[in-house]
Amino acid sequence: MVIVNLDLVRAFEQAVTAGDVEAAAGLVTDDIEVGGPRGSASGLNVFRRWVASSGISLETVQLFGRGDTAVAVQKASWAASADVHTVATEFGVRAGRICRVIRYDDGVDVALAAAGLGRTDELPL
């Protein structure tokens, strides 16, 4: 059974893209793990600061998932630049809320391997 779903990922994207700290915080656990190329940290306060300051816009173009783990291939841009990058974000879910968000800039295959997923775990958009 797939627990991670596109609606949850899209709600996360909308809240983060809008910089809506409260909406984003409502989708995650208090011990959320947030990570990316600069490292990782945990906790709702860390997450709130990230949402408030990241300036990132996200759009999922491909989704992989099984159980409580998903990887979203996303088009990402930041307020400081007009460039659009493709990133892969690993999502973990616990009790219907996101407990892990880790961004990988070095390709979907790296993110899938880290998440324990494969290409056969692709979900329809």
Q: Average pLDDT of each block of 10 consecutive residues along the chain (125 residues)?
A: 70 94 97 93 96 91 93 92 92 93 94 96 90
pTM for the structure as a whole: 0.91
Give the N- to C-terminal CA distance of the chain in Å, as an integer: 17
d(CA 125, CA 74): 12
User: How far are the Cα atoms of 14, 48, 113, 123 from residue 26, in angstroms, in the given order?
Assistant: 13, 10, 28, 25
Looking at residue 3, its pLDDT comes to: 55
Looking at residue 1, its pLDDT comes to: 47
Supply 97's token pair. Answer: 């809320």
